Amino acid sequence: MTAGVLLSGCDTDQVSLATNAKANQPVPPKLIAAMAEKNMDLQSPILVRLFKQEAELEVWKQTRNGQFALLKTYPICRWSGDLGPKVREGDRQAPEGFYSINPGQMNPQSAYYLSFNTGYPNAFDKALGRTGSQLMVHGDCSSRGCYAMTDEQIAEIYSLGRESFFGGQKAFQLQAYPFKMTPVNMAKHRNNPNMAFWKMIKEGYDHFEVTRQEPKVDFCEKKYVFDAAKPADAKRDPVFDASAKCPAYVIPEEIASAVREKQAKDETEYARLVAKGTPVARMNTGIDGGMNKIFAAKIPEGSTGLSEGAEGTTLQMLAMAKAPGTIPGHVNPPKPNLDAVASAPAPKEEPVVAVSTPATGTRVAAAQPAEKSGGFFSNLGRKMGLGTADTTATTTPAPQATASVAPAAQTSTTPATAASRLKAAVTRFVPGQDKSKDSVKDAAKDTPKPAVAAAKPAEPPKPDTRLAATRPALKPSVSDGAGDNAPMMAGAAPVVQSNSFDSRFSAVK
């Protein structure tokens, strides 16, 4: 009866808001209990915020003191496109900006269980010539320019919107952002071509943050204006036109001063983050949209795409968590555009250079590592002066050796392959085993052996000095893990560094 009275005079779509079975599901008891705890009424106004990078939808509800408070955060099952606003029909972009949702935009007959139209394009979008239609928030976890939830989620969100309309709210505000407009996110995306637009809508984000009131939104000169009011000497409210010159208006000082204070703090923190070298977010390589980590963990080969998971949380850790709703079998996780990835320049691999010393027959493998690294004992030894290189292995042949090595032109050693280096790295660090020698041998198997002329067996047998030439790159020194009493390689002479502990402090003895 109440619903019929409130919606009398509305069109058939609005009437179906209450009479359709799916659209008339009650608000869950847990949410009603949460409202009571937060001093909210069931039919008080709501406000919705969407964040692509975090893949989250927030429902805020007005409390009895008149301010909005966060009622619940819903993980977004799927959104499409890139970070940035929708520009034209067919670009698969989910919209960004401020939109108004009235009862006529609620769709109880949606092919995606339930939905509501975002209202894109708004006056600002139209002023810029942007095109597109039927951009929804809906169920079914499938998106082509929309924000898709599970059916269970959209039923709950829909019921909250319905109750707010029953309570007298004429329209609720939808705020859609690329990410939470924090200094760290602004710093990470500082080189993005959409930054000017994002700074503009951040103004509305800041208004809501400091007031916890729905900001009044107007448009003029092809830009957003928030909480505009008529000047003190004006006789009527300003009239705004998105494509026309802005009328005379003011922003109430209590709001303006609070916003200025917040923005000053944000800009100071932003400058600090940029100065310390906060990395810029990598550019999109053709990935279509994103997905909240809780859903990506449930899908084979799942990926969050352009969305980000919480720090310290992996998809494997979330695999046992309960999904907020049913994930249909046709859901496709975000994947990179293979054509874009294929056209991207391949990363350069640091070369491995084999060097021979003809005068002594010693073979030295010198590598140019991507970065200086080594094992714990290797790094400790360098600090104490016990070694000066991470990637140099030297073996001195036994005096009685008679094997001669063919000329360098005929014995050039092929650098170890990526597969051999990976295999050597894996076998080297198997817990409880010392695989340092095995890793050298494995690397040698993948490397063509140099020709050896007139090899004569020696007594006792000496190690093959050719192994040192194929030592994998980015490996710790061969002395790692060996103490002072470690057995020496048969036929090898001890090597004492010129800057070793004994040589530098022998005078003290």
CA atoms of 242 and 455, how far apart (whole Å): 88
Q: Which of 54, 51, 93 is nearest to 307 (CA)?
A: 54
How many whole angstroms separate alpha carbon 160 and alpha carbon 43?
8
Q: Which residues pair with 505 in a beta bridge?
A: none
* Contact partners, residue 288, CB within 8 Å, separation at least 6: 80, 81, 92, 305, 334, 335, 337
Neighbouring residues of 277: CB distance < 8 A, sequence distance ≥ 6: none
CA 201 to each of CA 121, 204, 248: distance values in angstroms, whole numbers, following the listed order = 15, 5, 21
**Is the Cα dihedral 162, 167, 168, 171 positive or negative?**
negative
User: Residues near 59 by Cβ (< 8 Å), separated by ≥ 6?
Assistant: 46, 47, 48, 70, 71, 72, 73, 74, 157, 160
Q: What distance in Å separates the CA atoms of residue 166 and residue 105, rounded to the nearest whole number?
A: 15
Cis peptide before 460 (omega within 30 of 0): yes
Tell me how long the chain is: 509
For 341, the enclosing helix (H) or strand (E) is helix 338-343
Q: How far is CA 305 from CA 73, 176, 186, 283, 295, in A?
A: 20, 18, 19, 12, 12
Q: Where in the sequence numbering do the catalytic residues fall?
A: 138, 146
